[in-house]
A and B are shown apart, each in its own frame.
Chain A
Amino acid sequence: MPDAPPLLAMHGINKQFAGIAALVDAEFAVAEGEVHALVGQNGAGKSTLIKILTGYYRRDSGDVTFAGRPFGAASPLASQRAGISTIYQEINLVGFRSVTENICLGRETYRFGLLDWKRMHEEAAALLARFGIEIDVRRPLQDFSTAAQQMVAIARAIGFAARLVIMDEPTSSLSERETQVLLDVIRRLRADGISVVFVSHKLDELYAVCDRVTIMRDGRTVRVAPMAEISKLDLVATMLGRDIGSVARQGATGFGAKGAGAAETLLAVEALAEAPRVRAVDLSVGKGEIVGLSGLLGSGRTETARMLFGVDAPDSGRITLDGRGFTPRAPHDAITAGVGYCTEDRKAEGIVPEMSVRENLTLALLPALARAGVVDEAAQARIVETFITRLGIRCAGPDQPIRQLSGGNQQKVLLARWLCMNPRLLILDEPTRGIDVGAKAEIQALIRELARDGLGVLMISSEIEEIVEGADRAYVMRDGRTVAALDGDALTEQNVMTAMAQGDV
């Protein structure tokens, strides 16, 4: 297969956003009739690479050849016309409209100058029948299951005579049975000579259906290998940029010495589930303990945190806080119970950019600060001063707009926002993402100090060394389940990666 000229070859692709490199000499090639896995952590450059291919972004430099010709799509429409179709994780179709419209719009058939509905319905039905799907194509798309909608998206791609179908985490909201149907469809596409780029973090799926894999990290292509020649552990280690068996470099993070271990259990979670992303989560956090929650993207870490904070409701399972049953129905319930949650996405869910440090810091506390609806400004100022000093927040003053602060200092303000509520449990989702090295160590030291004062911390992180060095204990999630609980000497990078890769240690 590698000898034949590839269907798609991307060579030396560079792309910067506002001076920050997203892709550095990235390489990507897909053979005719091949199912090719594209993997990498968040920010590795997969999405940027795909969006350059589909004409969503323009590359700064590099060559792309598709079907033997130089290729540079200017828009999603152009790449679709050229034979490249993309199926996104969030299904990008229109739920209100009929299945037929979702499949056929963009290449309608006409009769006497008007749309020929009869033929379009027949064509849509015929395309779906190829995947063994028989549904009423006249009904709105939203009447059908996610899996069926996924098939409609694929049928649309095939209808456009796609030669390359890119699937961006297509299985992330499918049940196991639906996933099997999708994998069968992928095999059928391959049999028809259509190439598929399969982006997923679920290793079992990659190994079940892909021929080769391209691994990206920090905007570069770090490895291309036939699936059969790379072990799961090897793949995970390459993706995360860790050597298998390397001795953990103690002191690479700012956490410092570990705690003595928990005396009392603060939070206990049993068989928590919310289909399809979280299937079975069991974990506990003790008072004064930092517990790590690790796992590849899409393994259900953030979804678990959202349930603990009352954002999403679990289908089943049991949560106890301080020995009592805990069923938060909204974040308000969780906050009242003493749970804080620093989200992964600071910009979208955390800071209010135009507001000052003071306002951002006390936002969640405002109801408690108000007397008869009027904010007690003296009390507010006291609290703000206390936390600016205690956390070492570097700002010109409490009234500086938070957007002017560095990422690390913004994160400290968000931490302070929760700390001033005196929480017992703090959930931190990627607490050091996008923060420079110095500030990172400071925040890590701060987390440790808070734990020493008795706060229970559940820390979600994609950085293995942060988990291994920072956490007293850690859980590893895989496909929505906690598959390993590691502590003491067992909490090593090797073991965390093995659990991510294979599901056991």
Chain B
Amino acid sequence: MKVAVSARDIVAFSRYGVVAALVLLVAFGGWRYDHFLGAYNVLTFLRYNAMFALVGLGMTFVIMTGGIDLSVGAVAALGSVVSALLSPFGLWPGVLAGAAAGLAVGLLNAGIIIRLNILPFIVTLATMLAARGTALLLAHNTSVAVSYDTNFMAIGQGDFLAFPIPAWIALAAYVAGSLLLNFTAFGRVTLAIGGNEDATRMMGLPVDRVKLGVYAMSGLAAGIAGVILAAQFGAGQPIEGNGWELFAISAVVVGGTLLTGGEGAVGTTLAGVLLLGLIFNILNFENGLGWISLSAYWQSVIRGAFLLLVVVTQAKLTARDRKSAP
């Protein structure tokens, strides 16, 4: 029963699709708007979207296992508050505290999901509320200004080799993530779990350890995104991060990772993040031309339509694939 085209081929095709769409959109923007490809717009865009890129990377691994992490937005908010609170002690205490807060929530997610065998959707929905509440408690319901006496804000606002530091961090994370996925047993088992968790267990592979790893990574990535958030905007923001999880999930899926897990890629999640981010950026430029005035809510509509298109396609393909599987 040899199938001519497999899910893998089609997912690969959709990856080319997202990259092609990204290139087209950039070309369109560059052709239509002045300053669109100017250094200021490009670097600001990258500096801001680096946060989403990080959250998306963690989400990619989680979704590859067939799981989901809804807590990332709230975790980023928590991370931003914690790092802002510790920023008076310097750059590193702030960064490490924010990252640690994220990691802690990630480990909590993993522990409950693995030990108590509760659906990730439910668990991370609960920790989303808990993380949001904790952030609000710690921040006393308001934003927490970061210290201007230390160099904490460099991690959000600084440059290294004329390139935003947050973008450097995201880039490094994606290189590491790509190596992790393609060239380590951890990465391959991540995909195997999403493909068939029971079989992976029966094959004697360390399912629980890998699941612990992916949720921890997702929490950590969200925590670091929170640190960047605080440093970039000068304050820990307990009410920020709403809807980040949906943005991240969209980016992962648009980037050619199956929402059901088992098949996916890291690099194209980055393309997915940039593509979804660009829609907002282009909307701003279009309004700037002054001919039409599109509400910012249009970006949600367009992103939603994009996501729906990809998810429906995936569902159709995997349904066909299951049918043809022996």
Partners in one complex: yes
Residues of A within 8 A of B (CB): 75-78, 80-81, 86, 88, 91-97, 101-102, 105-106, 108, 114-115, 117, 139-140, 142-146, 149, 156, 173
Contact A142 B188 (CB under 8 A): no
Nearest Cβ on chain A to B234's Cβ, whole angstroms = 40
Q: Tell me which of B6, B182, B192 contacts A143 (CB under 8 A).
A: B6
Nearest Cβ on chain A to B297's Cβ, whole angstroms = 37
User: What are 9 A-B interface contacts by the 8 Å CB criterion?
Assistant: A92-B198, A94-B200, A96-B194, A97-B192, A114-B184, A115-B188, A142-B326, A144-B2, A173-B326
Most chain B beta carbons < 10 A, residue from A94, A115, A139, A143 = A94
Contacts of A80 in B (CB 8 A): 204
Contact A115 B183 (CB under 8 A): yes
Contact B188 A101 (CB under 8 A): yes
Residue of A nearest to B184 (CB): A115
Contacts of A106 in B (CB 8 A): 185, 203-205
A115-B185 contact in complex given A96-B263, A140-B6, A142-B6, C-beta closer than 8 Å: yes
Contact A96 B199 (CB under 8 A): no
Residue of B nearest to A56 (CB): B202
Contact A95 B204 (CB under 8 A): no
Contact B184 A94 (CB under 8 A): no
User: What 5 A-B pairs are tightest by C-beta distance, nearest first?
Assistant: A77-B204, A114-B183, A94-B195, A96-B195, A96-B262
Interface of B is mostly: helix
Contacts of A97 in B (CB 8 A): 188, 191-192, 195, 262
Contact B191 A96 (CB under 8 A): yes
B32 within 8 A of A: no
Contacts of B202 in A (CB 8 A): 76, 86, 88, 92
Q: Tell me which of A92, A114, A139 contacts B6 (CB under 8 A).
A: A139
Contacts of B192 in A (CB 8 A): 94, 97, 101, 105
Residues of B within 8 A of A (CB): 1-3, 6-8, 179, 182-185, 188-189, 191-192, 194-196, 198-206, 262-263, 321, 325-326
Contact A105 B196 (CB under 8 A): no
4 more A-B residue pairs beyond the given contacts A80-B204, A146-B326, with a C-beta to C-beta distance below 8 A: A77-B206, A94-B200, A143-B6, A144-B1
Contacts of B325 in A (CB 8 A): 95, 142
Measured in the bound complex, the distance between the Cα atoms of B195 and A142 in whole Å is 11
Measured in the bound complex, the distance between the Cα atoms of B204 and A76 in whole Å is 5
Measured in the bound complex, the distance between the Cα atoms of B2 and A144 in whole Å is 6
Residue of A nearest to B8 (CB): A140
Nearest Cβ on chain B to A163's Cβ, whole angstroms = 16
Measured in the bound complex, the distance between the Cα atoms of B196 and A93 in whole Å is 7
Contact A93 B199 (CB under 8 A): yes
Contact A96 B204 (CB under 8 A): no
Residue of A nearest to B192 (CB): A94
Measured in the bound complex, the distance between the Cα atoms of B76 and A438 in whole Å is 64
Residue of B nearest to A80 (CB): B204
Contacts of B205 in A (CB 8 A): 77, 105-106
A105-B185 contact in complex given A76-B204, A94-B192, A94-B196, C-beta closer than 8 Å: yes
Contact A105 B203 (CB under 8 A): yes
Contacts of B185 in A (CB 8 A): 105-106, 108, 115
Measured in the bound complex, the distance between the Cα atoms of B326 and A144 in whole Å is 8
Nearest Cβ on chain A to B22's Cβ, whole angstroms = 26
Residue of A nearest to B321 (CB): A142
Contacts of A156 in B (CB 8 A): 203
Measured in the bound complex, the distance between the Cα atoms of B262 and A94 in whole Å is 9
Measured in the bound complex, the distance between the Cα atoms of B28 and A236 in whole Å is 75
Contacts of A75 in B (CB 8 A): 204
Contacts of B200 in A (CB 8 A): 94
Contacts of B182 in A (CB 8 A): 115
Nearest Cβ on chain A to B3's Cβ, whole angstroms = 5
Q: Tell me which of A94, A102, A143 contacts B2 (CB under 8 A).
A: A143
Contact A95 B3 (CB under 8 A): no
Nearest Cβ on chain B to A84's Cβ, whole angstroms = 11
Measured in the bound complex, the distance between the Cα atoms of B206 and A80 in whole Å is 13
Q: Tell me which of B1, B8, B321 contacts A145 (CB under 8 A).
A: B1
Measured in the bound complex, the distance between the Cα atoms of B199 and A76 in whole Å is 11
Contacts of A81 in B (CB 8 A): 204
Most chain B beta carbons < 10 A, residue from A91, A143, A146 = A143
Contacts of B184 in A (CB 8 A): 114-115
Q: Tell me which of A76, A117, A142 contacts B201 (CB under 8 A).
A: A76
Residue of B nearest to A144 (CB): B2
Contact B188 A105 (CB under 8 A): yes
Contacts of B179 in A (CB 8 A): 114
Measured in the bound complex, the distance between the Cα atoms of B185 and A115 in whole Å is 7
Measured in the bound complex, the distance between the Cα atoms of B188 and A37 in whole Å is 35
Contacts of B262 in A (CB 8 A): 94, 96-97
Measured in the bound complex, the distance between the Cα atoms of B191 and A144 in whole Å is 19
Nearest Cβ on chain B to A311's Cβ, whole angstroms = 16
Contact A149 B326 (CB under 8 A): yes
Measured in the bound complex, the distance between the Cα atoms of B64 and A96 in whole Å is 12
Contacts of A77 in B (CB 8 A): 204-206
Contacts of B198 in A (CB 8 A): 92
Nearest Cβ on chain B to A243's Cβ, whole angstroms = 39
Contacts of B199 in A (CB 8 A): 91-94
Contacts of B3 in A (CB 8 A): 142-143
Q: Tell me which of A78, A93, A145 contacts B203 (CB under 8 A).
A: A93
Measured in the bound complex, the distance between the Cα atoms of B199 and A110 in whole Å is 24
